[in-house]
Amino acid sequence: MADSNIAVFITILLLVGLTTAENRTQLFKDLFKDYEVRVAPFDTLADVMILSMSVSIISLRNVNEKDQTFSASVWISLSWLDERLEWEAKSYKGINSIQTTSKYVWIPSSICIFNEVTNDKCLTEEKPVTIYSSGHLVYTTSRESTAQCKIDVSKYPFDTQICSLYIGNLFVQSEFIYLSSSLSTYSLVYFDRNEEWEVLNAYPRDYTGTGATQIHFDLVVKRKSSYIVLTVLLPVILLSVLNIFSFVLPIDSGEKMGTSMAIFLTFAVFLTIINDSLPKTDSIPPFTVYLTIQLVISGLTVMLEAIVLRVHFSGKSDDETDESNGSLSKTKIQPIDMNDEEGEIRVRNKICYLVKYIKSKLTAERLDRFFMVLVIVVDLISLTVFLAETL
C-alpha cells in the first residue's frame, strides 16, 4: 500500500513538472512570436524608457598613480521595462520569471563606460537576462574594468582618492533613455578587502557636464599608510636624528667625518631602494620633497663637519700635530737665558701658538654647536611642514 502511494506521488510530481515545462515552452513561444529584437521599446521622447543601474564592486585590483587609472572587478546590472514581454503569471501555472540571453531580447547597447581606457567600453556582451511577468528585464554582466582616475598625491602617504565609473547613454538624441542616480545603486556587499587601499564609501551621482546625462559611480578610497610609515618614513626620521648625533661626537675623536659620510651614503642607498614605491606623477608630492630635503641635509652635514675640522686643526703647525690623534704634541722647552733674544722670541712664538690653538679649538666647538642647532631646526621645520601638508 505504501509503495503504491509513493508511486502515485511521484507520478503527480512528474505530471506537474511536465505541465510546467510545457507552460514555460508555450510562454516562450507566445512572448517571442511577434517580438522584434532589433526594435527598442520606445518610439518618441514621450515613450522615454527609465533605466536603473546597479554596480557591485568585487575587488579593487590596482590604483596606478603614474597612469592615472584604477582597475576593478565589477558586476553591472541594468533594469528596464519592455511592455512587449508582459504576461499573466496565472495563465502559465504561476510562472513569473524566465531566463534567457541578451541575444533574444532588445538591450540598451548604447550604455557605455565613458572613462574606460580599453576598447571594451559599451555593455554589448551576450549575457544572461531575466524577464519578469511585469515586463521588467534585468541584464547582468561582469567586467574587469580599467578606468581613468585623476589621482592627487599631494597628501601622500595619507591621501584619499575618488575614482569613478562614468556610465551613460552614448546616443542621447536617438535613444530615449532616462538615467537617474536615485534609481541606481553602488554596492560593496561582495567587496573583497584590498591590502593597500581602504574603501570608505561608494555612491552614484548625476552628472550632466558634457551635455549627455551620465551616472558617476564614485568610489572613495583611502591609502593604508601604516606600511609606508613603518618602512619609509620612520627610517628616514631615524637617519635624520643620526645626522644630529654626528655633531655630538668629540672633534678629536677622528670619527665625525666618517660618521656623517656613512649616514649620507645610507640615505642615498635607502632612497634609491624605496624609489619604486613612491608615486610617479607630474606634480611632486610633499613626501618626495621631504625625502629630498633630508638627503640634502645629510650632504650638507658632511660639508659642515669638514668646515669644523678645518677650523679645529687650523691652529696647529705641521710639525706640532700628532697624526695619530690630532692632539698638541708635547714639546720640551729648554732653559734659556733671559738675556738671549733668540730664546725670548721662541717662547713668544710658543705662547702665540698656544693661544691660536685654543682659539681655533673654541671656535670649532662653537661652530659644531651652531651647526647642530641649525640642522635640528631645519629637520623640525621640514618635518612639521610635511605633516601639516599631508595630515
- Read off the pLDDT of residues 259-318 as tens digits, 9 standing for 90 and up: 888 888 988 888 887 777 777 777 788 888 898 899 899 989 888 888 888 887 776 644
Return the axis-axis angle of helices 256-274 and 234-245, rounded to nearest 10°.
170
Same domain, 208 and 286: no
Using DSSP bridges, classify how beta strands 136-148 and 69-81 pair: parallel, antiparallel or unpaired: antiparallel
Q: What's the pLDDT at 18?
A: 39
Q: Is the pLDDT of residue 165 over 80?
A: yes
Same domain, 268 and 377: yes
Same domain, 205 and 241: no
In a domain, 20, yes or no: no
For residue range 60-92, list pLDDT tens digits in order: 999 998 889 999 999 999 999 999 999 998 888
Distance CA 92, CA 20 (A): 8
Which one of 173, 197, 224 terminates a domain? 224
User: What's the average model confidence in pLDDT over 117-124?
Assistant: 90
Residue with cell 520606445: 42
What is the DSSP secondary-structure string of 107-153?
A: --TTEEETTB-SS--B--S--EEEEETTSEEEEEEEEEEEEE-----
CA distances from 280 to 194, 217, 232, 289, 322 (A): 21, 26, 16, 13, 52
| Residue-averaged pLDDT of the chain | 82
Using DSSP bridges, classify how beta strands 185-187 and 49-64 pair: parallel, antiparallel or unpaired: parallel
Confidence of residue 111 (pLDDT cuts 50, 70, 90): very high
Dihedral class, residue 279 (left if φ above 0, else alpha if ψ from -120 to 50, else beta)? beta
Cis link prior to 157 (omega < 30° from 0)? Answer: yes
In a domain, 21, yes or no: no
In a domain, 339, yes or no: yes
Q: Is the pLDDT of residue 176 over 90?
A: no
Helices marked H in the chain — which ranges? Answer: 2-32, 226-228, 234-245, 256-274, 286-312, 341-390
| pTM of this prediction exceeds 0.95 | no
Q: What's the pLDDT at 289?
A: 87
Q: What's the pLDDT at 143?
A: 92
More confident residue, 354 or 130: 130
By CB atoms closer than 10 A (0-12, 13-18, 19+), residue 74 is buried
Most confident among 5-14, 22-31, 40-49, 109-118 (mean pLDDT):
109-118
Same domain, 214 and 267: no
Same domain, 382 and 262: yes
Overall number of domains in the chain: 2
Same domain, 269 and 126: no
In a domain, 263, yes or no: yes
Per DSSP, 258 falls in state: H
Same domain, 267 and 216: no
Q: What's the pLDDT at 205?
A: 92
Same domain, 240 and 156: no
Same domain, 167 and 295: no
In a domain, 199, yes or no: yes
Same domain, 244 and 310: yes
Which one of 193, 224, 255 terminates a domain? 224
Q: Which of 13-22, 134-143, 258-267, 379-388 has the lowest mean pLDDT?
A: 13-22
Q: What's the pLDDT at 46?
A: 66
Q: What's the pLDDT at 340?
A: 61
User: What's the average model confidence in pLDDT over 331-349?
Assistant: 58
Question: How much of the chain exceeds pLDDT 70, in percent?
Answer: 81
Q: Is the pLDDT of residue 21 over 50?
A: no
Same domain, 258 and 162: no
Same domain, 177 and 219: yes
By CB atoms closer than 10 A (0-12, 13-18, 19+), residue 94 is exposed
In a domain, 14, yes or no: no
Q: What's the pLDDT at 304?
A: 87
Range of the domain at 374: 227-390
Helix (H, G, I), strand (E, B) or coil at 75: strand
Q: What's the pLDDT at 2?
A: 44
Q: What's the pLDDT at 13?
A: 42
Distance CA 137, CA 78 (A): 8
Question: How much of the chain exceeds pLDDT 90, in percent?
Answer: 33
In a domain, 382, yes or no: yes
Which one of 196, 224, 252 terminates a domain? 224
